[in-house]
Structure 1
Amino acid sequence: MSPAAIHVPLLPEHKPKIRHASVSGAVFNVSTSIIGAGIMSIPATLKVLGVIPAFLLIGAIALLADVSVEFLMRFTHSGNARTYAGIMRESFGQAGSVATQMCVMITNLGCLIMYLIIIGDVLCGSQPEGVTHLGILQQWFGIHWWNSREFALLVTVGFILLPLVLLRRIESLKFSSAISMLLAVVFVGVSSVMAIIALLEGKTKSPRLLPHLDNQVSFFDLFTAVPVIVTAFTFHFNVHPIGFELGKPSDMIRAVRISLVLCAAIYLAIGLFGYLLFGESIMPDILVNFDQSSGSAIGSLLNDMVRLSYALHVLFVFPLLNFSLRANIDEFLFPKKPLLATDNKRFVSLNLVLLAISYLAAIAIPNIWYFFQFLGSTSAVSLAFIFPGAVALRDVHGISTRRDRIMAAIMVILAVVTSTVAISTNIYNFFGNKS
C-alpha cells in the first residue's frame, strides 16, 4: 500500500461546507428588487396626493411590507415549503399555488417590459402625448439607424442582459445589484443637487402639502396613487430565492428591514426634490422632465447624467426579476422535472424566450404608466399584501398570534378596498376621456 493511500479515507470525515450568501449581498439584492422602476413614478404621486399624505403612505406601505415578509418567512420555516407558491399550496392547495405563480409571472414580466421601455426611452427617445423627446444617443450623435429603439434594445438584450440572466445563483448578482443601488443614489443625488441649486436661485416650484380636492372624482383619483407605491415596494417574489441562500431566517428579516429603510429614504428624497424641480408639470415618468427642454438651470449634462444613471440602474435590476420569473414559470410548466439550474437546455431556452418576449413587447408598447396602474392594482398588491395576510389568517401551522391576525386582516381589507377603488376610478377615467 502506498503512503498516499494511507491518508485517503474511505468516507469523507466532514460534510461539504455549504456556502451561504452574505447579509450585505442580500441587502443589495433586496434593495435592488424594491427600487426597480418605482423610483421614477414616486414624484408624480406627490403631485396627486400632496407631500404629507404621500410621505405617510410611503411609510405605511413600507411598514406593511415588513410585516408581510415576516409572515412569509415564519410560515415558510414552520412548514416544508421553500417557495412562495409552496407556502400558498400548503395553505390553499393547488389553486393557491397557481394563483401565486400567475401573479409572479404577470408582475415580473410586466416589470421586465417596463425596464426595457425605460431604457429605450432614455437611449432613443419617446413621444408622450404627441411631444417628441430625443434620447441620449440622438442628442449626442444625431438620428441614425443604429440608435433606433429596435437596434439599441437588441444590442442591450444580447450583449448585456443575456450574460447576466444566465447566472444561476442569485448571490452572483450581488455585485450588479450593488452597482444598481449606487446608480440609484447617483440619480437621487444629482436630482437633489439640481433642486437645491434651483431653490437657491428661486426657481423651484411650491409643492402642495395636501391634495387639492375640487370635486368627487378627484377624491377617488387619490386612490390611483396607492397602486403605484405598492408596486414600488413589491419584492416578495424574491424573498425565498434570496432568503434560502442565507444562513438563518433572522438574517433575511434583518436584510429586508435595512433595505426597506434605505429604499423609503430614497423614495422620499426623489419624491420631494423631483416635485420641487418640476411642480405641477411633473410627468408620470419623471425622466421625461429631465430632457433639454425641461428648463433646468444646470443644463443638458446633468440632465443626461440623471437619465443615463437611471437607465443603467434598471438594466441591473432586470436579471433579479428575471430570476424569480424564470423559476416560477419552470415550476408551473415542469413541476416534475429536475432543478432548472441542472438542465442546461431548459435553462438557456427559457431565458432566451423570456428575453425575446420582453424585447418584442417593449418595442410594441409605448407607455409604461399602463403597467404601473394595472400591476399595482392586481398582481403586485396580491403578492405584497393579500396573499401574505391570507396565509396568516388561514394559519395552517397554528402559529398566528392575535396581533398577527389583526394585522393580516387590516392588510387584506386595505389592499382589497384601495385596489378596487383604484381599478374602478381608472376604468371610469378611461371611458370618460373617450366619451
Structure 2
Amino acid sequence: MFMIAVLVDITVEFLLRYTQSGKSTTYAGLMAESFGSLGSLAVQICVMVTNLGCLIIYLIIIGDVLCGNESGGTLHLGHSMVELSCLCYTLCCALCYAPIDSLRHSSAISILLAVVFIAISSAMAIYAFWKGKTQNMRLLPDFANQVSIFDLFTTVPVLVTGFGFHVNIHPIRSELSRPSDMSYAVRISLAISIAIYFSIGFFGYMLFGESIMSDILVNFDQNSDSAIGQLVNNTVRLSYAMHLALVFPVINFSLRTNIDELLFAKKPVLAKDKSRFTILTCLLLALTYTIAIVIPNIWYLFQFLGSTTVVCLSFIFPGAIVLRDVHGISRRKDKVMAILVIIMAILTSMIAIAANLWTVG
C-alpha cells in the first residue's frame, strides 16, 4: 500500500509539472498535447469504463447490505426492508438530475462516514479483544492450501483502484487559490487514505478473521448478540448504503456526459435534449443493474479496473507523457522513473490477470 502511494505521488507530480508547462487544464487535454486526439480518446474511454465499474461496485455493495450474501456456506443476512430499498432506488433516480456541485456534500459525507466506520469497528475490535472473542489472525499467507505466491499480486489492482484519483487532479487544482498547493493536498490525501485503509483492514481482520468478506460491510450482520450491538452493526451498514446511493448519481452524471460527448458530439447540449437525456440515463441504469446482478462480488470488478483502465490512468499514461516530453522538461531520472513505473504497472497487471484466470479456470 505504501509503495503504491509513493508511485501515485510520483505520477501526480508528472501530471502537475506538464500541466504547468502546457496550456491544457484537463487530463484529456494533457494527453492530447502529447499524443493528439488518440491520447485524449484513450483517457475518455478509460474514464468511462472506470466510472461504469464504480457504479457497478456501488450497486453490488448496496445489494449485499440490503439483500445479504453467502460465502463458504455462511449466510450473511441483509435487510429486507422494502421501504429502504425503494428509498435508495428513488434517490438514485431523482438525484440523476441534481447539479454536479452537490459532489462537495457527498465528499464530506464520505469522509465523515469513513471516520465513523473506523471509530465503530476499532471500538468493537478492542472490546472483542478485551473479552477474548477476537478471531485468530495469520501474519503470513497460507501457501499450503492451493495458494500461490502469484496470488499476492491480485491484491495490487485492488489497492491501485483505491488510490486511482488522477482524473480529479485537474478539477481540484483549478479550484485552489494557489495551484502550487496541489502537491501538498495530494500528499495529505494519500496519508489520510493510507491511515483509513490500514485501520479498516486491521480492525476488520481482527474482528472477523478468516470469515472476512471482500465486502466487509456484509460481515456486520451477526457479530453481536445484544440489541445495542446489533443496532451499531445496522447503523454502519445502512448508513454506508445510503451514502453510496447518494454518490451514485454524481458518478453517473460524469459517465453519461462523457458517453454523450463521444457519441453525439454534433448534437445539442444533453441538458437541452430531454428525450436523449432520459433514454441514455435509463440505458446506463439498466446496464449497470444487469452487470451488478451477474457479477458475484466486488472483488472481480476491483481486479478488472485495477488491472486495466485505472492502471492506465494512474501509471501508464503519466509515464508516457514524461517519455514523450513535448515540452522538453523531463530530466534523465524522470524518464528512468517513468520507464520503471510503466514496466511495474504492466508486469503486476499481467500477473494479476493471469493469476485470476488460473483461479477461475
TM-score normalised to structure 1 length: 0.74
| Structure 2 residue corresponding to 1:76, chosen from 2, 7, 19 | 19
| Structure 1 residue corresponding to 2:104, chosen from 174, 184, 190 | 174
Q: Which residue of 2 aligns with 1:371?
A: 301
Q: Which residue of 1 aligns with 2:244?
A: 314
| Structure 2 residue corresponding to 1:89, chosen from 18, 24, 32 | 32
Is 2:48 the partner of 1:111? no
> Structure 2: how far apart are the matches of 1:71 and 1:345?
42
Is 2:61 the partner of 1:125? no
Q: Say which one has the larger Rg.
A: 1
| Structure 2 residue corresponding to 1:134, chosen from 47, 53, 77 | 77
| Structure 2 residue corresponding to 1:358, chosen from 267, 271, 288 | 288
Q: Flag structure 2 segments of 5+ consecutive residues without an equivalent.
A: none
Q: Which residue of 1 aligns with 2:132?
A: 202
Q: Contact 2:164/2:310 (CA < 8 Å) preserved in 1?
A: yes
Is 2:127 the partner of 1:184? no
Q: Contact 1:231/1:380 (CA < 8 Å) preserved in 2?
A: yes
Shifted more, 394-403 versus 123-132: the winner is 123-132
| Structure 1 residue corresponding to 2:202, chosen from 250, 254, 272 | 272
> Structure 1: how far apart are the matches of 2:327 and 2:203?
46
Q: Contact 1:241/1:324 (CA < 8 Å) preserved in 2?
A: no
Letter in 2 for 1:174: R
Is 2:156 the partner of 1:226? yes
> Structure 2: how far apart are the matches of 1:296 and 1:101?
49
Per the TM alignment, residue 407 of structure 1 is displaced from its structure 2 partner at its CA by 2.4
Q: Report percent identity of matched pairs.
A: 59
> Structure 2: how far apart are the matches of 1:216 and 1:125?
28
Per the TM alignment, residue 287 of structure 1 is displaced from its structure 2 partner at its CA by 1.9
1:273-312 map, 5 Å: 273-292=203-222, 294=223, 299-312=229-242
Would the alpha carbon gap of residues 346 and 260 (structure 1) be closer, same or farther in structure 2, given more than 3 Å must change?
farther
Letter in 2 for 1:69: V
| SS of residue matched to 1:283 | coil
| Structure 1 residue corresponding to 2:317, chosen from 380, 387, 402 | 387
RMSD across aligned C-alpha pairs, in angstroms?
2.8
Letter in 2 for 1:180: S
Letter in 2 for 1:354: L
Question: Structure 1, residues 241-271: CA drift from partner, whole Å, max 9, x if none?
Answer: 3333444422433332222211111001001
Question: Structure 1, residues 200-229: CA drift from partner, whole Å, max 9, x if none?
Answer: 112223433333444895211111111111
Q: Which residue of 2 aligns with 1:396?
A: 326
| Structure 2 residue corresponding to 1:156, chosen from 58, 83, 88 | 88
TM-score normalised to structure 2 length: 0.88
| SS of residue matched to 1:399 | coil
Would the alpha carbon gap of residues 342 and 59 (structure 1) be closer, same or farther in structure 2, given more than 3 Å must change?
farther
> Structure 2: how far apart are the matches of 1:66 and 1:319?
29
| SS of residue matched to 2:164 | coil
Is 2:5 the partner of 1:62? yes
> Structure 2: how far apart are the matches of 1:296 and 1:285?
22
Letter in 2 for 1:325: L
Letter in 1 for 2:7: L
Per the TM alignment, residue 341 of structure 1 is displaced from its structure 2 partner at its CA by 6.1
Q: Which residue of 2 aligns with 1:416?
A: 346
Question: What is the number of residues matched between the two proteins?
Answer: 360
Per the TM alignment, residue 134 of structure 1 is displaced from its structure 2 partner at its CA by 2.3
| Structure 1 residue corresponding to 2:356, chosen from 403, 412, 426 | 426
Would the alpha carbon gap of residues 399 and 422 (structure 1) be closer, same or farther in structure 2, given more than 3 Å must change?
same
| Structure 1 residue corresponding to 2:41, chosen from 98, 109, 113 | 98
Letter in 2 for 1:156: C
Shifted more, 294-303 versus 67-76: the winner is 294-303
> Structure 2: how far apart are the matches of 1:250 and 1:182?
27
Per the TM alignment, residue 378 of structure 1 is displaced from its structure 2 partner at its CA by 1.1
Letter in 2 for 1:82: T
Q: Contact 1:91/1:396 (CA < 8 Å) preserved in 2?
A: yes
Shifted more, 247-256 versus 62-71: the winner is 247-256
Would the alpha carbon gap of residues 65 and 314 (structure 1) be closer, same or farther in structure 2, given more than 3 Å must change?
farther
| SS of residue matched to 1:299 | helix
Per the TM alignment, residue 325 of structure 1 is displaced from its structure 2 partner at its CA by 2.4
Q: Which residue of 1 aligns with 2:337?
A: 407
Question: Structure 1, residues 345-365: CA drift from partner, whole Å, max 9, x if none?
Answer: 666654454334323433444
Per the TM alignment, residue 429 of structure 1 is displaced from its structure 2 partner at its CA by 1.1
Shifted more, 332-341 versus 387-396: the winner is 332-341
Letter in 2 for 1:332: L
Q: Contact 1:390/1:408 (CA < 8 Å) preserved in 2?
A: yes
Per the TM alignment, residue 115 of structure 1 is displaced from its structure 2 partner at its CA by 0.2
Q: Flag structure 1 segments of 5+ consecutive residues without an equivalent.
A: 1-57
Q: Contact 1:184/1:313 (CA < 8 Å) preserved in 2?
A: no
> Structure 2: how far apart are the matches of 1:205 and 1:415?
35
Shifted more, 251-260 versus 261-270: the winner is 251-260
